[in-house]
Chain A
């Protein structure tokens, strides 16, 4: 019985192998036509010619599978954006990440001091200010950095002249230091490698919080206004950290979930020779 089975199996496998060999060029043609329809419209015949020039039946099929995989990837990524997630989804994602940044900021800010209500108010202000910052596209990071330093410097100078009791200055100090921190971290995130990106803001947040704790004895010896000033700057820095995390998460998720936008100007945008 086993001998008969071996004979039948041998013949069947031989036939199957032969048929696969015969079918593979046909399958390759079908695959490239499908790939052309999905990803490269109008190139079906061209691809068939490419397949035709490939030596060997299996090599033809392997080439066709390569085109089919590229087309499949294209279809899967494009289908998501075709559902208009590109507009609504991105907006929702942005709002979600902004809210997360605000919540993180609020939790950290309230943990800093026992003056609960005041810090909740300040953290809410910072979180609201954080929302537009998530949309900031810093084309030239150095310009943003200079602007951040200018804002903080201006507010601190105004504090030195008018004192900290000025309401406008109280409100301006947190966003100014938030912006500076955000720009600094954004630069750090852009230069850091992907795996280290999220470590940077958390590291900075840790350093700021530990510095705050260590500096507390020295700060308590200083006048009340200086203490408040230091706390507000620290809160601004932490807000910037949270905004940077939110910005990074939003950008990373957008890159992962949505197809990249390829709006390149033919005349002015050089392509990479890589």
Chain B
């Protein structure tokens, strides 16, 4: 939320859609047995998501340097 400068509902709306499309996958944080706080959930791009994101970036921002390589899995470019 801080990085993209968007509100929580906006970010989670997008995340929900990306999860639906299998672009990202969420993973629950593992807590120590003694901890009682709510678990955080982190998201990472799937292989499909990386390829789609790279294609999207290449289409929308062809001038952006390094972005396609950053998103693609190692060895793909």
Q: Are B8 and A67 in contact (CB under 8 A)?
A: yes
Interchain CA distance A63-B10 in the complex, whole Å: 12
Q: Are B39 and A45 in contact (CB under 8 A)?
A: yes
Q: Which of A40, A46, A49, A270 contacts B56 (CB 8 A)?
A: A270
Q: Is B41 an interface residue (CB 8 A)?
A: yes
Q: Are B16 and A40 in contact (CB under 8 A)?
A: yes
Interface string of A245-274 (1 = CB under 8 A from B): 000000000000000001010110011010
Q: Are B23 and A49 in contact (CB under 8 A)?
A: no
Cβ contacts under 8 Å, A207 to chain B: none
Q: Which of B17, B37, B56, B59 contacts A264 (CB 8 A)?
A: B17
Cβ contacts under 8 Å, A52 to chain B: 37-38
Cβ contacts under 8 Å, B9 to chain A: 39, 66-67, 69-71
Interchain CA distance A22-B1 in the complex, whole Å: 26
Q: Is B65 an interface residue (CB 8 A)?
A: no
Interchain CA distance A237-B10 in the complex, whole Å: 44
Cβ contacts under 8 Å, B60 to chain A: 270, 273
Determine how close the nearest CB of chain B comes to the CB of A73; give it in whole angstroms: 9
Cβ contacts under 8 Å, B20 to chain A: 266
Cβ contacts under 8 Å, B29 to chain A: 49
Chain A interface residue count, Cβ-Cβ cutoff 8 angstroms: 24
Interface string of B1-43 (1 = CB under 8 A from A): 0000001110011101100111100000100000001111100
Q: Is A79 an interface residue (CB 8 A)?
A: no
Cβ contacts under 8 Å, B21 to chain A: 264, 266-267
Determine how close the nearest CB of chain B comes to the CB of A54; give it in whole angstroms: 10
Determine how close the nearest CB of chain A comes to the CB of B58; give it in whole angstroms: 11
Most A C-beta atoms less than 10 A away, residue of B8, B20, B37, B40: B8
Q: Is A50 an interface residue (CB 8 A)?
A: yes
Interface string of A55-72 (1 = CB under 8 A from B): 000000001001101110
Cβ contacts under 8 Å, B39 to chain A: 45-46, 49
Q: Are B17 and A50 in contact (CB under 8 A)?
A: no
Given A266-B20, A266-B22, A63:B56 Cβ within 8 A? no
With both beta carbons as reference points, the residue of chain A lying nearest to B40 in the complex is identified as A49
Q: Are B17 and A46 in contact (CB under 8 A)?
A: no
Q: Are B8 and A48 in contact (CB under 8 A)?
A: no
Cβ contacts under 8 Å, A273 to chain B: 56-57, 60-61
Q: Is A80 an interface residue (CB 8 A)?
A: no
Q: Is A143 an interface residue (CB 8 A)?
A: no
Residues on A lying within 8 angstroms of B by beta carbon are 39-40, 43, 45-50, 52-53, 63, 66-67, 69-71, 262, 264, 266-267, 270-271, 273
Could you list 26 A-B pairs, sorted by A, with CB under 8 Å?
A40-B12, A43-B41, A45-B39, A46-B38, A46-B39, A48-B38, A49-B38, A49-B39, A49-B41, A66-B8, A67-B8, A70-B8, A71-B9, A262-B17, A266-B20, A266-B21, A266-B23, A267-B52, A270-B52, A270-B59, A270-B60, A271-B14, A271-B17, A273-B56, A273-B57, A273-B61
In the A-B complex, the 3 residue pairs with the closest CB atoms: A266-B21, A70-B9, A48-B38
In the complex, besides A40-B16, A67-B9, 19 extra interface pairs with C-beta distance below 8 angstroms are: A45-B38, A45-B39, A47-B8, A49-B38, A50-B40, A52-B37, A52-B38, A66-B8, A67-B8, A266-B20, A266-B21, A266-B22, A266-B23, A270-B52, A270-B59, A271-B17, A273-B57, A273-B60, A273-B61
